[in-house]
Amino acid sequence: MAANIDPNSAVYATDEYGRPFIIVREGQQKSRLSGIAAIRSHILAAKTVSNIIKTSLGPRGLDKILISPDGDITVTNDGATILDQMAVEHQIAKLLVQLSQSQDQEIGDGTTGVVVLAGALLEQCEQLLDRGIHPIRIADGFERACAVAVQHLDDISDTIEFSLDNVSNLKKTAMTSLGSKIVSKCHEQYADIAVNAVLSVADLERKDVDFELIKVDGKVGGSLEDTILVKGVVIDKDMSHPQMPREVKDAKIAILTCAFEPPRPKTKHHIDITSVEEYEKLKAYEKEKFNLMINQVKDSGANLVICQWGFDDEANHLLLQNKLPAVRWVGGPEIELIAIATNGRIVPRFEDLSPEKLGKAGIVRELTFGTTKDRMLVIEECANSRAVTIFVRGGNKMIIDEAKRSIHDAMCAVRNLIRDNRVVYGGGAAEISCSLAVAKVADDISSIEQYAMRAFADALDATPLALSENSGLSPIETLAKVKAEQVLTGNSKLGVDCLGRGSNDMKDQHVYDPLISKRQQYLLATQLVKMILKIDDVITTYEQ
């Protein structure tokens, strides 16, 4: 039976006995996809990524295990983390990764939702391309529909009131963010921690929150319920000498970036010691310098030293003798946070120490954990009470890392409400309402963009469909029921009852989403889809 072999893709060769055989190989150049075919392949790649994380959406969403090349594992359902750590090779799929990152950097929450919406829009694009509609006309229709949806979000949003005495609405928003996280079993406690941490550092007049003043730290051991909010700073250090006191009350802290060691020339040097007298002379010089440094610290009124650098046993012994507790090897970011929290100044030279440059704290104490020798230093009752630390406990490192990500998302949701205190309702309620509004506008348009606008409305339904599916409900039946109720009652607060509480009214269930988060999702997803629709070829370039 003869086989048809392309002579351009085959090599004829002989073995050592002269018998001929054929080596078939692929063509030297693969044909590149271009035009509509290229757009279809881009849509397929983006849909694949979207479908991977769709199952992580909502309070019943599932987690993913991510395995690094080193074998380290991460368990999370945070969209930005999943996409950031996935090994994504396709160029268009990488754009979806950047989409979730931009949502994370700008808003901090809603990273899964934005990718699910982008994937749904691209799925609709495929159907429109099958009908022969040009990609540019689809992009124009999507942009028009997005403007309608964003305007409708403004119309259906509610303004929530809050104050330092009444934070219940902020807490409800934080609980909505935490509902889909690993900490959901104690999400009320975590919501309280997130709200109190943000309000401790917030400037309500300027509507600004400085996350630099919030440190999130963790230690393996204990349960998630042992997580606490410390009005001060927690650092993973202990006193430099085991016989130093474990607690310092009314602390006056010298914050130093200079080392406890004798001064040396800046240039390279070495000293030749040829006799015992010269050695004794050097030893006496070093001791004199150590004593001078310690006296300068004590003269400033300090009763605790925090140093960025280490010091040797002799300096440590002299500090103990002079009853001056010290902490060494405190990193740069931590030392800055301590300076901010205690209203102290970071001092680069011992000669510059003075009483007004000292940081002040009510108490500095060591925390010990379990039966181990693990210790951490807690600086509380600081002069500047705005700096806070969230100290997370958990059974293993993965749980602690995921709890940190969860708290970050909750704090971002609270910060967004401080920036703009308008909310829309979750559970897919806002998406269903916007879908109905876009479809209504599309009915009044006579141009070809009406098809793209209806497709945009269908894509918005992807969020409530995914929420229903992840909650074990019948997706299409649930969506049809809620949509019909919204049409009949005109109530834009009706969504998917993911937790089976018996009510579809998301206001009664206290499921809040900050308006700026939802609006940003729509805008970013539409921008990305427009960009993908306009890419008709991928060309690999080589550096000359």
Round to whole Å and give the CA distance between 384 and 359: 10
Q: Is 111 a catalytic residue?
A: yes
- Give, in degrees to the nearest 5, the angle at Cα 532 between 527 and 536: 145
- Out of 401, 409, 497, 513, the active site residue is 409
Q: Is 72 a catalytic residue?
A: no
- Out of 55, 74, 81, 112, the active site residue is 112
Q: Is 78 a catalytic residue?
A: yes
Round to whole Å and give the CA distance between 194 and 412: 9
* Assigned token pair, 130: 């099958």
Q: What percent of the chain is helix, strand and coil (3-state, nearest 5)?
A: 50, 15, 35
- Out of 55, 63, 76, 78, the active site residue is 78
Q: Smallest Cα–Cα separation from 382: which of 232, 250, 198, 210? A: 232
Round to whole Å and give the CA distance between 209 and 416: 9
- Which residue(s) pair with 291 in the sheet? none
Positions of E strands within 388-521: 388-394, 422-425, 512-514
Q: Smallest Cα–Cα separation from 435: which of 187, 220, 156? A: 156
Radius of gyration of the chain (CA): 31
CB 490 within 8 A of CB 432: no
Round to whole Å and give the CA distance between 388 and 192: 14
Round to whole Å and give the CA distance between 460 and 438: 10
3-state secondary structure 392-421: EEECCHHHHHHHHHHHHHHHHHHHHHHHCC
CB 230 within 8 A of CB 378: yes
* Assigned token pair, 332: 């740069």
Give residue for tokens 């010089």: 285
Round to whole Å and give the CA distance between 152 and 477: 25
Give residue for tokens 């997580």: 227
CB 119 within 8 A of CB 55: no
Q: CB pairs under 8 A, 24+ apart, for 62-68?
A: 62/470, 63/182
- Out of 111, 173, 389, 478, the active site residue is 111
Q: Is 540 a catalytic residue?
A: no
Active site residues: 78, 111-112, 409
